[in-house]
């Protein structure tokens, strides 16, 4: 039995709400590491992110500026945090922050902070608005989609689709529209929240599956666990799911990772068409999903593996996982002392 290596890991995505960020699931995986003795630094955008207050999750929390505050503000904040903490690895868990972290990577390297994240090109290639081109480039089945930047373009674009259609935001949210009126309504709803562009996507009738996967940046699939959602929230988020045995889903994950040379965690959203059983790639989310802890329950610790890869450890890919493991998410009320809230409100750290 080897002695564990001490390591300090910073994690974003502590918003464990009804549509949770992946941070808490990632931290739970890291806490179960058999290789590392982890110290966890939580990075929060909002002072009421529940992960700040959950017992046994984070050792220290720092508030960080929103990506919209600009590159300089984020670099200044991390320079301060690194002076205090000597972080070894940062794991970003939000789509909207990733481009900032990609730009920060050379500066992080100089500070001694390691990252395993996609390149700018990899990140942009898999954007929802670029999915058609991604499918053509890598010979992967994707549903037809079109990107619109203005409401005036919507009607014309819709003429190329049959109803129902899916209206998607550039980062999050997707709604199924049965008419042009509904499509307009969802356009305004999504663009008000996430801005433009909006993506119109062909609706594929079938069964949806998700895969959490990890790439080493050199084309090797280091781990993958597929699941079927068994209970959804009103936002379409998985509230329960079960790991399944489907080699085609693993094969799709392997294709995506090998063809893109993806670095870091990702989630594939896939649809198996009812009539043909043909598998379509609906979306690539460029980070671990909020349900990534299911992989731990199935025998694959993806967060630990990511840290090992980021730190240059030699590791063999996971080749198997347990089938028939379920996750069920739940909510409960925490009772917290006000002083913690006051400290992060006033000092930006706790």
At 176-188, the pLDDT tens digits run 999 999 999 999 9
Spatial strand order in the sheet of 165-168 = 145-148, 198-202, 165-168, 174-177
Poorest-pLDDT segment among 22-26, 151-155, 233-237: 233-237
Instruction: List alpha helices for 59-179, DSSP H.
Output: 71-85, 95-111, 120-125, 131-138, 151-158
68 located within any domain = yes
pLDDT at 86: 96
CA distances from 323 to 29, 128, 214, 226, 249 (A): 19, 30, 18, 9, 13
The DSSP bridge pattern shows strands 5-11 and 36-44 to be: parallel
- Residue 275: which pLDDT band, with cuts at 50, 70 and 90? confident
The verdict on 228 and 249 lying in the same domain is yes
pLDDT tens across 183-226, in order? 999 999 999 988 999 999 999 999 999 999 999 999 999 999 99
- Report angle CA 6, 9, 11 to the nearest 5 degrees: 160
Question: Quick one: CA torsion of 120, 126, 128, 134, rounded to 10 degrees?
Answer: 130
Check whether residue 191 and residue 105 sit in a common domain: no
Average pLDDT over residues 35-49: 97
* Residues 302-342 pLDDT 10s: 999 999 999 999 999 999 999 999 999 998 899 999 999 99
Mean pLDDT of the chain: 94
Strands 221-232 and 206-216: what pairing? Answer: antiparallel
Predicted local distance difference test score (pLDDT) of residue 75: 97
Is 160 in the same domain as 66? no
**CATH code at position 240:** 3.30.470.20
Parallel/antiparallel/unpaired status of strands 263-273 and 60-63 = unpaired
* CATH assignment at residue 186: 3.30.1490
| pLDDT confidence of residue 235 | 72
Please check whether residue 248 lies inside any domain of the structure: yes
Asked if 180 and 155 touch (Cβ cutoff 8 Å), the reply is yes
Domain count of the chain?
Answer: 3
Residue 253 belongs to domain spanning: 205-328
- CATH of residue 67: 3.40.50.20
Predicted local distance difference test score (pLDDT) of residue 153: 92
| 99-153 pLDDT, tens digit each | 999 999 999 999 999 999 999 999 999 988 888 899 999 999 999 999 999 999 9
- pLDDT score, position 173: 84
Identify the burial level of 192 via C-beta atoms within 10 angstroms of its C-beta, where 0-12 means exposed, 13-18 middle and 19 or more buried. exposed
Task: Report the percent of the chain where pLDDT is more than 70.
Answer: 99
In this structure, the answer to whether residues 223 and 312 fall within a common structural domain is yes
Q: Are residues 216 and 299 in the same domain?
A: yes
Identify whether residues 53 and 165 lie together within a single domain: no
323 shares a domain with 225: yes
> Is a pLDDT exceeding 70 seen at residue 20?
yes
Same domain, 195 and 211: no
Q: Are residues 171 and 213 in the same domain?
A: no
Please name the residue that has the structure tokens 């009812």. 274
- Say what the pLDDT of residue 1 is: 56
Q: Is 231:277 a contact under the CB 8 Å cutoff?
A: no
User: Is 90 inside any structural domain?
Assistant: yes
Strands of 112-262, DSSP E: 145-148, 165-168, 174-177, 198-202, 206-216, 221-232, 238-243
**Is residue 105 in a domain?**
yes
Q: What is the pLDDT of residues 238-268, one digit of tens each?
A: 899 999 999 999 999 999 999 999 999 999 9
First to last CA, the chain: 35
Identify the pLDDT of residue 19.
82
Domain shared by 323 and 220, yes or no: yes
Question: Does 44 fall in a domain?
Answer: yes
Residue 128 is assigned to a structural domain of this protein: no
Evaluate whether residue 143 is within a structural domain. Answer: no
87 neighbors 11 (Cβ within 8 angstroms): no
Q: Is residue 266 in some structural domain?
A: yes
Same domain, 24 and 36: yes
Q: Which two tokens stand for residue 70?
A: 């600009």
Taking residues 57-84, report their average pLDDT: 96
- pLDDT of 272 above 90: yes
Instruction: State the pLDDT at residue 120.
Output: 96
């Amino acid at each position: 039995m080897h002695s564990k290596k001490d390591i300090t890991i910073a994690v974003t995505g502590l918003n464990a709400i009804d549509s949770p960020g992946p941070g808490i699931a990632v931290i739970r995986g890291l806490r179960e590491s058999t290789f590392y003795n982890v110290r966890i630094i939580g990075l929060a955008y909002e002072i009421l992110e529940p992960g700040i207050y959950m017992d046994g999750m984070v050792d220290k929390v720092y508030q960080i500026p929103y990506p919209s505050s600009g590159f300089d503000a984020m670099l200044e904040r991390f320079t301060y945090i690194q002076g205090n903490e000597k972080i070894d690895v940062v794991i970003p868990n939000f789509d909207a922050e990733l481009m900032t972290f990609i730009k920060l990577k050379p500066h992080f390297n100089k500070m001694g902070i390691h990252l395993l994240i996609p390149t700018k090109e990899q990140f942009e290639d898999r954007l929802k608005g670029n999915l058609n081109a991604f499918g053509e480039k890598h010979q992967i089945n994707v549903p037809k989609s079109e990107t619109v930047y203005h409401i005036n373009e919507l009607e014309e674009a819709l003429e190329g689709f049959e109803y129902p259609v899916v209206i998607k935001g550039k980062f999050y949210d997707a709604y199924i529209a049965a008419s042009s009126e509904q499509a307009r309504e969802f356009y305004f709803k999504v663009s008000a929240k996430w801005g433009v562009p909006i993506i119109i996507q062909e609706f594929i009738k079938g069964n949806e599956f998700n895969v959490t996967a990890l790439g080493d940046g050199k084309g090797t699939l280091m781990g993958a666990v597929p699941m079927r959602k068994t209970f959804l929230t009103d936002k379409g988020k998985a509230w329960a799911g079960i790991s399944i045995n489907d080699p085609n889903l693993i094969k799709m994950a392997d294709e995506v990772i090998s063809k893109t040379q993806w670095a870091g965690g990702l989630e594939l959203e896939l649809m198996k068409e009812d009539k043909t059983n043909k598998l379509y790639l609906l979306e690539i989310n460029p980070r671990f999903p909020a349900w990534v802890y299911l992989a731990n329950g199935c025998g694959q610790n993806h967060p630990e593996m990511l840290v090992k890869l980021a730190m240059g450890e030699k590791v063999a890919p996971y080749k198997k996982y347990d089938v028939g493991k379920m996750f069920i998410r739940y909510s409960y009320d925490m009772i917290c002392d006000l002083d913690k809230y006051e400290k992060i409100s006033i000092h930006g750290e706790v």
